[in-house]
Amino acid sequence: MIPWPYHTFGQPTQPPLVCLHGFMGSGADWLPIVPDWNCYGLMPDLPGHGANFMINLDEPLDFARLTTEFIAWLDGLGLAKIDLLGYSMGGRLALHVAVTHPQRIKRLILESANPGLTDPTARHARAQWDDEQAALLTEMELADFLEQWYNLPLFQSLHRQPARLLALKQQRQQHEPRFLAKIIRDLSPGCQPPLWSKLADLPMPVLLVAGELDSKYVELLMTMQAQIPQAKLVILPQSGHNVHYEQPALFGQVVRSWLIQL
C-alpha cells in the first residue's frame, strides 16, 4: 500500500473532512482555508505530490487503485464515514470514491471536477495530449514547464493576480518532474472511466463549486447538478478553475455555510 502523508487541522473529536488537492498541488494547499470550517481537516498529499513519493514509477496507477488505497488509508485512521472535498484531479478521485463506496461519504464537495469524457475521439485526444505533457515534464526545466502550463486557457484567470500566480508557481517547483509526468499520464481524463452514468445513484448531499470565469466547468457542473439527486451548484464570481486559490475567503464561506446548513 502507498503511505499517504497528510496535514491536519482541528481536533479529532470534530467531524472529519478530507480535502484532496489538484494536479501539482499538495495537502498544504488547504491549510489557509479549513480553519473556519469547524471540522477535523485531513489533507493528504496524493501520490507523486508533496511528500508522497513512495510509488513505483514503472507500476501502473489508475483511479481504481487510488480509490482502494484511499479507503485503506481511512481504515487505518479509524474513519468510518467522512465529508469529502476534491478539487480538479482530487475531485475526480473524490467522485470515484463516492460512487464506489457511498456508505463511507456523508457529504461530497466537488470543485471544478469532471466526471470524465464519454466520446472515444475526445478520450483519445486527451490521453495523447497528456502523454505529450508528460514528455515535456521530463525534457524541460520544471520552471519552464510551469510557465507554459499556467498560460493554458484554463488558468488565464490566475493572471489577474500576478503576485499570487508567482507564489503558486514557486510552490509547484518543489515537485519532482518524473512523478508529475507519471501522474498526468496515468491519471489522464482520457484514460479514466467516465462516471456520468453513476451520478444519479449518489445518495449523499453534493455541493458543486465552479468559478464564473471557467465557462467550461460552469457548463459541466450545471449538467452534473441536473443528474445528482441532492446537488447544489454555486458559481463564484471573479474566479476561474482554481476557485479556492483565487477566492479563498469566499470559497471558505460557501463551504462552511453549506456544511452548517446540513
pLDDT of residue 3: 73
Show pLDDT as tens, one digit a residue, over the chain (262 residues): 667 899 999 999 999 999 999 999 999 999 988 877 889 999 999 999 988 887 888 898 999 999 999 999 999 999 999 999 999 999 999 999 999 999 999 999 999 999 999 999 999 999 999 999 999 999 999 999 999 999 999 999 999 999 999 999 999 999 999 999 999 999 999 999 999 999 999 999 999 999 999 999 999 999 999 999 999 999 999 999 999 999 999 999 999 999 998 8
- CATH placement of domain 6-117+192-261: 3.40.50.1820
Determine how many CB atoms are found less than 10 A away from the CB of residue 171: 15
Q: pTM to 2 decimals?
A: 0.96
pLDDT of residue 36: 76
Q: Phi and psi for 77 in degrees, rounded to 5? A: -90, 0
pLDDT of residue 24: 97
pLDDT of residue 2: 66
What gap in Å lies between CA 158 and CA 155, rounded to an integer?
A: 6
E strand or H helix at 89: helix 89-100
E strand or H helix at 217: helix 215-227
CA quadruple 230, 68, 129, 195: dihedral sign: negative
Domain assignments of the chain as residue spans, ordered by start: 6-117+192-261
- Report whether 108 contacts 260 (CB < 8 A): no
Determine how many CB atoms are found less than 10 A away from the CB of residue 121: 8
